[in-house]
Structure 1
Amino acid sequence: MYKILVVDDEPRVSAGIRNFLLSSDMNITAVETAVNGFEAIDYLRMDQFDLVLTDIQMGRMSGIELMENIYMEQWNVPVIVISAHEKFDFAKKSLRLGARDYLVKPVERTELLRVVRNALTRKELPDTSPQPEPTSIRRQERRDEWLMELVTERNLTPQDMEQITGELGGLLQGPFYGVISIRIDYSRAGFSSQQVTLQDRKLLKYAALNIMNETLAEWNGVTLGGFGHSIISLIQLSAEDRDDPRVSVHSQIQMIGQMIAMNLKRHLNTEAVIGLSTLGEGIATLPGLLEEADTAAGWNSVHPGHQVFYYGDFARQEHLNRGQQPDTGLTAQESEAAPSVITRITSYIQSNYRNPALKIQDISEEVHFSAAHLGYIFKREMRMNLWDYVTALRMEEAKQLMATTDKKRYEVAYAVGYESPEHFSRMFKRVLGLTPAEFRKKARGGERAEAEA
């Protein structure tokens, strides 16, 4: 049984897709519709969906921005993009962000059925492409040797670095770099989840290298085999990319980590621990960045249920720990989500939950943690999901307004952070089990009964 979310700012389009999918033979039991990205994110926070279909050009939040938010919070949800635009840049950006397919309106029903069926049922096998020719292998090995020298040797002279970059033939352009340390679990992989034999591990690593190259193409990624079964990747950003006001650097890096985990799981059905460095300027920073990435990946020993670790979170936590009193009796890891941090998070949410455009990136910027780590420490300390907390605040204020004022439904919706009264009503009933009108009637009836008594 499958549950699908359709996002389009034209309700007739959403309704048409919903009715068509529900009448198909694919065992689709529910199709929810949202008119913008913020409504879609609300649905995704409340329910588990097997697939998202989204338009590209929407007011307030584009389909591309929606995909970025999805992969920040639920990286394993597949997405299909449906757009009236045939522009190659839209398609390329969508597919590199992990979209399963890109369809152009008006969509043929048979084509829509085909891509939805593929997305819901596809089980991809490891890439078993033929190994490259020996000459190509030697050239690749030589390139990896030069790269390994750059990322591990701290005592290179400027002349050494100039020689190595010359040998690499313009492969590294920068000027800003990040390093990713990927530690893949090769013990079990493939969709049969069988134990991987020793001779097959080399093939799996080769497949993983291909996946990494494809995943990081948008960020001018360079991948090389690390020590043993580990993999090292470099990303390169221009000054414009680094300073892009639409997305913070650490949010962008965190999204890259989530995409890597998603693609390794999707294509190889294998788990991986991913350590992400901060950004450094110039190739001389690469050894330090590799050390950061390895340190971040090592954090998995303390938090085994977590996959993606950003060194910026680690550095931030060290700063917080140094600010604590020495007699706390807590280790650095136990102090990770100190009450002061949770207080800052909850205070920010309480001040901003009425903003319908509130995103996890906004909160993470406030406390200088990545979105994934923010969600992790909030749930660990508060024993509830961050967005359940946001919704609870909105619903509590909505209850007060419905019970004590004569504000209309749309006025209450806007007051507590919803742009659509219809969406507010659906969320209200989902959380409280009553429509706003039913709740008001019950609340007012209770007040009268109490007054009479």
Structure 2
Amino acid sequence: MYNILVVDDEPLICKGLAGLLNASGLGIGKIMTAESGEEALDYIRLEEIDLLITDIQMGEMSGIELMHQAKIVKPWVQTIIISAHETFQYAQMAIRLGARDYLIKPLNSDQFLDSVRSVLLKMDKPLPRTEEALAGGHGDFRMEEPLPESVDSLNRLLEVAVDHPDEPHREQSFYESIGIAGPYFAVIKVRLALGRAAGEMAFPEKDIPLMQYASLNIIKELLDHELNAQVFYAPDRSINILAQWSEETYAEQTNRINQLEMIGRSMHHHIGKYLKIGCTVGISQILKGLQFVNVLSRQADKAMLWAREHGDYHVFYYGDFSWHNYARDPNADELSSQSNRIVEQAKAYIEENYSQKGLTIQEVARRNHVSPNYLSYLFKKITGFNLWEYVVKLRMEESRNLLLHTDLRRYEIADRVGYESPEHFSKIFKKYYGVSPSDLKK
């Protein structure tokens, strides 16, 4: 059973689409509706959402921004965009973020349900290449793997700077011939749990190449519409990914690190789901210049070192750690101190700004110079609260105080504690305290 969230700033459209879904006979569990991006994000943070159906133009937060933030919180959430505008730029942005469909208003009921049915049917099916790989590669399926010489050259690029004083351009020309141009690069490394360390499932040696092959297929499938990247085997049975951006693409895109982390989390999720093996993902920063790819490779390796300290976290970004504060890699006590400092700073910022409408995890993370995912993980680990649950806790405590000790109306209290919609405020309040605001007031 799937949970669906319908988002539109026109209540009648929300109601109509929810009615269509309820009467569709599809395997749907809960259908939730929201009338703003901010309200929708609360649902995504606090509920298990499988499919997001959102309008593209809604007040302060557009459907594109909602989709982007939803992907950061839960990268496996699927999205269908609906719009009154048949604008190529909007459609291009939506597809780039992974939207499964882009429907134009006024919606045709059959077309809408066909789109939803198509997305739901694909959710539990293994990725096609993975299914073929695990079946032994039978049928017409053939996937081109990088040629051995290309793999060797790409791995060498990750180990050694390309420019040499005697022939500065020879190697760069060769890499351009195999599709490496840049000029902006990042390195992602996926270390598969294939029985090399304590706690990992031990696979028979004969099965390991198949697991690598299937993992490579999953990663390629996920990257097809997400990133311009070379994916290849590493010498240590890991998978290496060399992501690249042209000058034009780099200038167009924002939140590139968030995109890389989202991809990393999707890879971890899908490899675990389809292959039943764990993996650790290390992500470098982004640098300009082919000569820095080996530096980026070391960054990805270094990021994965923190798996030793954070065994329940799986996607590590090099920039989340204050390497410059230490002459050597920090020990466990120093790492713990750094983590506590990040969380305390985040708490202080939230306590000052929880009543701000449209407050996002991204904003809190940016103030702390860490990624939203890493901040969310640390916050939960240290405080016991999900970061957004802490925001809700502060909002609910303040609203209860205002209800009991002032004559402010519900909509005024909702506005004071950061909610756009009094109705949404009431839903959250009742879920939190078990009674409605009006019943508590009585």
TM over 0.5: yes
Output aligned runs, 1:35-50, within 5 Å: 35-50=35-50
Cα distance change, pair 429–159 in 1 and its aligned pair in 2 (3 A): farther
| Larger displacement relative to structure 2 (413-422 or 41-50) | 41-50
Post-superposition CA distance 1:345-395 (Å, at most 9, x none): 111111111111111111111111111110111111111111111011111
Post-superposition CA distance 1:135-162 (Å, at most 9, x none): x76x733333322222111474155552
Matched residue SS, 2:242: strand
Residue number in structure 1 paired with 2:289? 282
Q: Distance in 2 between matches of 1:99 and 1:263?
A: 18
Cα distance change, pair 313–82 in 1 and its aligned pair in 2 (3 A): same
Post-superposition CA distance 1:186-227 (Å, at most 9, x none): 68xxxxxx9977666545544543443454454422222212
CA contact (8 A) 2:186 2:244 kept: yes
Matched residue SS, 1:387: helix
Residue number in structure 1 paired with 2:390? 389
Q: Distance in 2 between matches of 1:322 and 1:107?
A: 60
CA contact (8 A) 2:98 2:226 kept: no
Determine whether 1:124 maps to 2:128.
no
Residue number in structure 2 paired with 1:151? 158
Residue number in structure 2 paired with 1:232? 240
CA contact (8 A) 1:375 1:386 kept: yes
TM-score w.r.t. structure 2 length? 0.85
Q: Distance in 2 between matches of 1:410 and 1:242?
A: 43
How far has the Cα of 1:275 moved from its partner? 0.6
Q: Distance in 2 between matches of 1:213 and 1:321?
A: 36
Give the unaligned 5+ runs of structure 1: 188-193, 442-453
CA contact (8 A) 1:250 1:312 kept: no
How far has the Cα of 1:61 moved from its partner? 1.7
How far has the Cα of 1:330 moved from its partner? 5.5
CA contact (8 A) 2:307 2:314 kept: yes
Residue number in structure 1 paired with 2:421? 420
How far has the Cα of 1:288 moved from its partner? 1.3
Matched residue SS, 2:298: helix
How far has the Cα of 1:32 moved from its partner? 1.1
Residue number in structure 1 paired with 2:81? 81
CA contact (8 A) 2:14 2:33 kept: yes
Post-superposition CA distance 1:1-40 (Å, at most 9, x none): 4322111122211111111212232343421111121111
Identical positions, percent: 36
Q: Distance in 2 between matches of 1:62 and 1:393?
A: 26
Cα distance change, pair 176–272 in 1 and its aligned pair in 2 (3 A): same
Residue number in structure 2 paired with 1:59? 59
How far has the Cα of 1:239 moved from its partner? 5.6
Out of 289, 292, 298, the position equivalent to 2:305 is 298
CA contact (8 A) 1:143 1:168 kept: no
Determine whether 1:212 maps to 2:219.
yes
Residue number in structure 2 paired with 1:254? 261
Q: Distance in 2 between matches of 1:264 and 1:110?
A: 34
Name the aligned partner's letter for residue 253 of structure 1. Answer: L
Q: Distance in 1 between matches of 2:101 and 2:276?
A: 20
Q: Distance in 1 between matches of 2:55 and 2:62?
A: 8
Residue number in structure 2 paired with 1:22? 22
Residue number in structure 1 paired with 2:366? 365
How far has the Cα of 1:296 moved from its partner? 1.5
CA contact (8 A) 1:71 1:258 kept: no
Matched residue SS, 1:235: strand
Output aligned runs, 1:90-101, within 5 Å: 90-101=90-101
Determine whether 1:310 maps to 2:317.
yes
How far has the Cα of 1:228 moved from its partner? 4.0
Cα distance change, pair 84–229 in 1 and its aligned pair in 2 (3 A): farther
Residue number in structure 2 paired with 1:450? none
Cα distance change, pair 365–10 in 1 and its aligned pair in 2 (3 A): same
How far has the Cα of 1:230 moved from its partner? 1.2
How far has the Cα of 1:421 moved from its partner? 1.4
Residue number in structure 2 paired with 1:110? 110
Cα distance change, pair 116–197 in 1 and its aligned pair in 2 (3 A): farther
Residue number in structure 2 paired with 1:169? 176
Q: Distance in 1 between matches of 2:439 and 2:284?
A: 52
How far has the Cα of 1:265 moved from its partner? 5.2
Name the aligned partner's letter for residue 372 of structure 1. Answer: N
CA contact (8 A) 1:215 1:263 kept: no
Q: Distance in 1 between matches of 2:185 and 2:285?
A: 8
Post-superposition CA distance 1:311-340 (Å, at most 9, x none): 1112x2x456779xx9xx9633433422x3
Cα distance change, pair 91–269 in 1 and its aligned pair in 2 (3 A): farther
Cα distance change, pair 429–215 in 1 and its aligned pair in 2 (3 A): same
Determine whether 1:430 maps to 2:431.
yes
Give the unaligned 5+ runs of structure 2: 133-139, 196-200
Cα distance change, pair 2–255 in 1 and its aligned pair in 2 (3 A): closer
How far has the Cα of 1:269 moved from its partner? 6.1
How far has the Cα of 1:121 moved from its partner? 4.5
CA contact (8 A) 1:124 1:266 kept: no
Post-superposition CA distance 1:383-442 (Å, at most 9, x none): 11111110111111111222222222211111110111111111111111222222222x
CA contact (8 A) 1:223 1:232 kept: yes
TM-score w.r.t. structure 1 length? 0.83
Post-superposition CA distance 1:249-292 (Å, at most 9, x none): 54343233234334545665654321101122211111111011
Q: Distance in 1 between matches of 2:189 and 2:364?
A: 26
Cα distance change, pair 17–64 in 1 and its aligned pair in 2 (3 A): same
Q: Distance in 2 between matches of 1:106 and 1:200?
A: 52
Query: Across the two proteins, how many residue pairs are aligned to each other?
Result: 423
Name the aligned partner's letter for residue 42 of structure 1. Answer: D
Matched residue SS, 1:14: helix
Residue number in structure 2 paired with 1:448? none
- Report the aligned-residue RMSD: 3.1
Matched residue SS, 2:49: coil
Cα distance change, pair 404–247 in 1 and its aligned pair in 2 (3 A): farther
Residue number in structure 2 paired with 1:451? none
How far has the Cα of 1:185 moved from its partner? 4.1
Name the aligned partner's letter for residue 308 of structure 1. Answer: V
Q: Distance in 2 between matches of 1:283 and 1:80?
A: 37
Name the aligned partner's letter for residue 339 of structure 2. Answer: A
Matched residue SS, 2:337: coil
Q: Distance in 2 between matches of 1:88 and 1:204?
A: 40
